[in-house]
A = this chain, B = another copy of it.
Amino acid sequence: MKNTFGQSVAVTVFGESHGPELGAILDGMAPGIPVDEAFIAHQLDLRRPSGKISTARKETDPFRIVSGVFEGKTTGTALTILIPNSSQHSKDYAATRALARPGHADYTAYAKYHGFEDYRGGGHFSGRITAGLVAAGAIALSALAGKGIYVGTHVAQCGPVADAPFAADEETLKQQLKDLNQRTFATLDDDAAQEMTRVIEKASAAHDSVGGVLETAVVGMPAGVGEPWFDSLESVLSHAMFSIPAVKGVQFGAGFDLTCGYGSQFNDSFRMEGGRVVTTTNNNGGINGGISNGMPLQFRVAVKPTPSIFRQQETVNFMEGTNADLQIKGRHDPAIIHRARVVVDSMTALTLCDMLALRFGTDWLAPTQPTQE
Chain B contacts of A240 at CB under 8 A?
230, 235
* A160 at interface by CB-CB < 8 Å: yes
Chain B contacts of A103 at CB under 8 A?
263, 266-268, 284, 288
* A88 at interface by CB-CB < 8 Å: no
Q: Which of A296-315 contact B (CB under 8 A)?
A: 302-309, 311, 313-315
* A178 at interface by CB-CB < 8 Å: no
| A373 with B304: CB separation less than 8 A | no
| A289 with B108: CB separation less than 8 A | yes
| B234 with A235: CB separation less than 8 A | no
* A192 at interface by CB-CB < 8 Å: no
Chain B contacts of A228 at CB under 8 A?
77, 105, 109, 124-125
Q: Which of A241-294 contact B (CB under 8 A)?
A: 241-243, 245, 247-256, 258-272, 275, 277, 279-280, 283-285, 287-294
Contact among B12, B76, B79, B249 for A112, CB-based, below 8 A? B76
A370 to B111, CA, bound (A): 10
Which of A22, A304, A323 gathers the greatest number of chain B CB atoms within 10 Å?
A: A304
Contact among B211, B235, B259, B306 for A238, CB-based, below 8 A? B235
* A183 at interface by CB-CB < 8 Å: no
Contact among B74, B114, B288 for A32, CB-based, below 8 A? B114
Q: Mark A196-207, 1 if CB is under 8 A from B, else 0.
A: 000000010011
| A242 with B238: CB separation less than 8 A | yes
If the complex has contacts A230-B3, A302-B251, are A311 and B264 also in contact, measured as CB distance less than 8 A?
yes
Contact among B261, B314, B366 for A271, CB-based, below 8 A? B314
Q: Mark A2-27, 1 if CB is under 8 A from B, else 0.
A: 11110110101111100111110101
Contact among B210, B243, B260, B311 for A160, CB-based, below 8 A? B260
| A288 with B231: CB separation less than 8 A | no
| A66 with B15: CB separation less than 8 A | yes
* A222 at interface by CB-CB < 8 Å: yes
Q: Mark A76-102, 1 if CB is under 8 A from B, else 0.
A: 111110100000000000000000101
* A159 at interface by CB-CB < 8 Å: yes
Q: A12-B78, A238-B241 are in contact. List 12 more A-B contacts (CB 8 A).
A: A2-B10, A13-B78, A21-B67, A31-B112, A102-B269, A105-B289, A235-B239, A255-B302, A258-B302, A265-B305, A270-B315, A283-B304
| B230 with A2: CB separation less than 8 A | yes
Contact among B7, B253, B304 for A7, CB-based, below 8 A? B7
A280 to B315, CA, bound (A): 10
With both beta carbons as reference points, the residue of chain B lying nearest to A236 in the complex is identified as: B239
If the complex has contacts A235-B242, A302-B256, are A31 and B117 also in contact, measured as CB distance less than 8 A?
yes
